[in-house]
């Protein structure tokens, strides 16, 4: 994880060479680039087709207040565009972090204009970089990309704090207790000053790793999902500042919502 005093993180130390592992990484990168297209198609395009297939009297009724169904779809499109901004930033950063650049993609990814684009919150100017990952994503990869974007709500938004407290709070409280207990049982100052080492399996988007580091523990996170690794690498090392993205975690389903706001 980069800190203000560090030089910019240059990505993983060793290039990935295993063909199967490269295939999985390519599919993960492509799924984030393809998020916008697939989400618009499944989320609003198909619903508009079904809407206009209704008898005219019916769809006119649903298009008018208080239902305003077409306006709801327009708002969903805007929310998808906002989510896609984060998805493109994850994929673009992942190309650099995991050394996935082809010669042409590498030039684009290191170009100052693209670096500035990736650091903004304007999705329209963050380009989709083509490469060996293009077209690699399967439907299951798209599901993982949607799930990963949704997980940002819990792990990295202010609104998700209560969920983090419920899931991570007991772990943090126990480790705080364990550290105090060990320090009380140690007679030497050197032993008491040594940080407690913690392994976080299934580290996900890295929030628990981040919080434990902030508490002074020596932490290592393990994760096998490249969707999660790409996303955590972006948020921990390349996101320009807190609050730089606006996400809408629940837009892919229209059921069991308390309101359409």
Structure confidence by residue, pLDDT tens digits, 212-247? 999 999 999 999 999 999 999 999 999 999 999 999
Written as one string, the DSSP assignment of 28-57 is HHHHHHTHHHHHHIIIIIHHHHHHHTS-HH
Say how far apart CA 161 and CA 168 lie, in whole Å.
10
pTM, whole model, 2 decimals? Answer: 0.83
Q: Give pLDDT, residue 99.
A: 82
Q: By mean pLDDT, which of 51-60, 66-75, 113-122 is the weakest? A: 113-122
Structure confidence by residue, pLDDT tens digits, 162-217? 999 999 999 999 999 999 888 887 655 555 567 889 999 999 999 999 999 999 99
For the chain, which residues make up each domain, given as ranges?
19-104+126-238
Dihedral of CA atoms 113, 114, 115, 116 in degrees, nearest 10, equals 50
What tokens does 150 get?
């949704």
pLDDT higher for 9 or 131? 131
């Amino acid at each position: 994880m980069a800190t203000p005093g560090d030089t910019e993180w240059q990505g993983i130390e060793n290039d990935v060479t295993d063909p199967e592992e490269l295939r999985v990484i390519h599919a993960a990168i492509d799924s984030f680039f393809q998020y916008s297209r697939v989400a618009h198609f499944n989320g609003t395009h198909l619903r508009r087709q079904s809407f206009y297939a209704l008898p005219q009297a019916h769809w006119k009724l649903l298009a008018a207040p208080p239902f305003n169904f077409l306006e709801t779809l327009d708002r969903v499109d805007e929310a998808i565009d906002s989510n896609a901004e984060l998805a493109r930033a994850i994929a673009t950063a992942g190309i650099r972090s995991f050394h996935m650049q082809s010669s042409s993609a590498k030039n684009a990814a290191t170009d100052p204009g693209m670096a500035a684009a990736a650091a903004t919150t304007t999705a329209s100017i963050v380009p989709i970089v083509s490469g060996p990952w293009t077209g690699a994503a399967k439907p299951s990869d798209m599901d993982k990309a949607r799930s990963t974007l949704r997980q940002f709500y819990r792990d990295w938004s202010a609104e998700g704090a209560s969920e983090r407290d419920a899931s991570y709070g007991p772990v943090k409280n126990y480790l705080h207790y364990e550290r105090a207990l060990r320090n009380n049982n140690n007679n030497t100052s050197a032993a008491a000053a040594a940080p407690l080492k913690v392994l976080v399996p299934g580290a996900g988007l890295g929030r628990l790793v981040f919080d434990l580091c902030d508490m002074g523990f020596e932490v290592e996170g393990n994760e096998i999902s490249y969707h999660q690794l790409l996303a955590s690498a972006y948020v921990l090392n390349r996101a320009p500042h807190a609050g730089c993205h606006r996400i809408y975690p629940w837009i892919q389903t229209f059921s069991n919502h308390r309101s359409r706001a």
